[in-house]
Amino acid sequence: MERWKINLAVLWFGQFLVMSGMSMIMPFISLYVQEELGVSDPAQVAWWANAIFASNFITSFIAQPLWGGLADRYGRKIMLLRSGFGMAIVMLLMGFATSAWQLLALRMLNGVISGYVPAATALMSASAPKERMGFAMGTLQSGAVAGTILGPFIGGVLAEWVGYRPIFYITGSLLLLASLLAWAVVKENFVRDGSSRKGAAVSLGDSFRRLIKAPQIPALFAVTVGIQVAMLSSLLLIPLFVQELHGTVRLAFYAGLVGSITGFANMAASPLLGRFADRVGYEKVLTVCLIGAALSFIPQAFVDNIWQLIASRFLLGLFMGGMLPSVNALLRVYTPDGMESRAFGFNSSFLSLGNILGPMIGGALAGWIGIRGIFFFACVMLLTNAAWTWVTLRKKRGSSAPG
């Protein structure tokens, strides 16, 4: 097997372990705060649960470009291992937390040292052939999506079997396994040439200004935020919408099915759309998928039963499979040599920003326009992104850009 394919297989499995481990604790954060950390007031439980959830994204938003700069200077694999081993230790420590403050601090620390996914993306972008970049990015994302889908389910099952605290120990062990596997198998041909050292040594602000000189890169950062805001603005309201459509009979099952069906479609479509993008161009696939995802929100606003919602969410997931992999492939095309990891680090920061803003905007709008109105909001946001992205990416395209 070619070396880049071996790297892809190991990093796929690593991302699956990391994302399943990280999402495994999400279903019971509020219960953990209430039952294990001594917070009894319902309002306080809700506040702490939201703060603990968001804190990881806030610190990750700040830290990711810093790690990207170090990766450009010293190599992507070392940053991958730093993140993996560091998160494994922090996750184990979460199992020993005795107060909400301690758990909040550890989640913030986890955000600071995180970065397995952008490091894996940068490493894969450096080792995969340019003509297979879309396939590599799509396949890599499918591993992360698979972990994100199965993690909450596994976490819920384990919570019933072993309780809450042991799940942190299991998660830490999974992260450790992923890191050991990457350390032993993944190979990187990293050459610290003069341009790489010069690009990595500049300050964070100068790096950002240098990156956005190409009009395509800020467009890609913006579409990353737009994708996350559009997808997450309605996510936390889906269980309530399922209850409105279906009632309370087996509510948890159907809410979980609606939430996971999008991920399954995403996971299946990502490698296929990535391979297709390698042939027809990343800009075309990104634009079509943005438009398709936007239009798939329209039927969600008019559904009157649970199966119609499931079908439209599945359609949404198919188009999602071509968005972020195309963004990552295009970032590799337009980023100056020696700054690839920093570009992926900044993009990871914008991803975290979208993760923060999406639920906040959705919660603020829900009282005014309802969840059906939020589906229209997501549609308009993605259509706007598609138009601006298409126009921007067609300007001053380099000869290396496919399509």
For residue 403, what pLDDT is reported? 42
pLDDT top residue among 400 and 89: 89
Q: Which residues contact 294 (CB under 8 A, 6 or more apart)?
A: 230, 378, 379, 380, 381, 382, 383, 386
Average pLDDT for residues 5-33, to the nearest whole number? 84
Distance separating alpha carbons of residues 103 and 94, to the nearest angstrom: 6
Tokens 């230790």 belong to: 89
Each residue's pLDDT tens digit, 123-143? 888 888 888 888 998 899 888
Average pLDDT for residues 251-273, to the nearest whole number? 84
Is the pLDDT at 47 greater than 50? The verdict is yes
Nearest CA to 23 out of 260, 347, 316 is that of 260
Q: Which residues contact 5 (CB under 8 A, 6 or more apart)?
A: none
For residue 202, what pLDDT is reported? 57
Each residue's pLDDT tens digit, 232-243? 888 767 877 888
Gyration radius (Cα) of the chain, Å: 20
Average pLDDT for residues 171-194, to the nearest whole number? 84
Is the pLDDT at 398 greater than 60? The verdict is no
Q: Do domains 1-184 and 203-394 have the same CATH topology?
A: yes
Distance separating alpha carbons of residues 59 and 86, to the nearest angstrom: 15
pLDDT band at 193; cut points 50, 70, 90:
low
Each residue's pLDDT tens digit, 97-113? 999 999 999 999 999 99
Measure the CA dihedral 273/276/280/282, to 10°. 40
Is the pLDDT at 336 greater than 50? The verdict is yes
Nearest CA to 155 out of 145, 144, 136, 168 is that of 168
Distance separating alpha carbons of residues 173 and 245, to the nearest angstrom: 40
For residue 287, what pLDDT is reported? 93
Is the pLDDT at 298 greater than 80? The verdict is yes
Name the residue type at position 389: T
Is the pLDDT at 252 greater than 70? The verdict is no
pLDDT top residue among 8 and 252: 8
- Please tell us whether the domain made up of 1-184 is placed in CATH 1.10.10.10: no
Q: CA triplet 329, 332, 333: central angle to 5 degrees?
A: 90
For residue 203, what pLDDT is reported? 62
pLDDT band at 263; cut points 50, 70, 90:
confident
For residue 28, what pLDDT is reported? 72
Is the pLDDT at 61 greater than 90? The verdict is no
Is the pLDDT at 1 greater than 70? The verdict is no
Q: Which helix (H) or strand (E) segment is 34 a member of?
A: helix 29-35
CATH code, residues 203-394: 1.20.1250.20
For residue 66, what pLDDT is reported? 85
For residue 270, what pLDDT is reported? 92
**Domain range list for the chain:** 1-184, 203-394
Is the pLDDT at 196 greater than 70? The verdict is no
